Amino acid sequence: MATQSPFSFVEDFFKSLPVPTPPAWAIDETHRKCVLVLNHVLMQEPQAMQRLVRQSGRVVLAQWRSFTFKLLVTPAGLLDLADEGATPDLTLVLTEESPFALVQSLFQGTKPPVRIEGDVQLAAEVNWLADNVRWDVEEDLSRIVGDAPSHMLVEAGRKISGALRDFLGQKAKDKTASEANTGNAA
């Protein structure tokens, strides 16, 4: 018997909605905040900055659906927003269209499918960053609320994340089993 997730209607509903285009100022401000966060994380990893120094002046374009994010590698080994007209040296396109599938793959600890075009060495550096650079949220949070509360908050986040990972993993198994059963019934 083929079973369907009770939440599949939510994903179908969101797929049917038109994607609103936010105003240009909101996109620009979001990009600026993302650059600040990325640079904060990079500054905690001197090796990451050293690797990026070798790619100074290069432009990376990240794209998902109609959303784009163009970054310039600075001589300091950090990131800045690239000019709109800048030609990307590397283009990374997330090929997974479903936001739910993207979240699911992230919670499962896998990388989402990406189409890569452009400079191979820059792509290798970006891949190294994705594999090796992690944000120490607990350390940053402890500066604001103290060590004990930050540890409790991060542990609670890990438990919630683990529960979501288990739930999404089970959902993926159920979907695979459902597709296999449907294929056998045909």
Q: How far apart are CA 48 and CA 129, in angstroms?
A: 7
Judge whether residue 170 has pLDDT over 80.
Answer: no
What is the domain range of residue 154? 136-186
Instruction: Please calculate the CA angle 25-76-122 and round it to the nearest 5 degrees.
Output: 80
Number of structural domains the chain divides into: 2
Q: Are strands 79-81 and 59-64 parallel, antiparallel or unpaired?
A: unpaired
The DSSP secondary-structure symbol of 21 reads P
87 with 97, same domain: the answer is yes
Residue 76 lies in a domain: yes
What confidence tens digit (pLDDT) does each residue in 1-28 have? 455 556 666 666 766 667 678 888 998 9
180 with 168, same domain: the answer is yes
85 with 101, same domain: the answer is yes
Q: The CATH number of the domain where 55 resides is what?
A: 3.30.1050
What confidence tens digit (pLDDT) does each residue in 80-101 have? 999 989 999 999 998 888 777 7
Q: Residue 150 in contact with residue 93, Cβ under 8 Å?
A: no
pLDDT band at 47 (very low <50, low <70, confident <90, very high): very high
87 with 168, same domain: the answer is no
52 with 126, same domain: the answer is yes
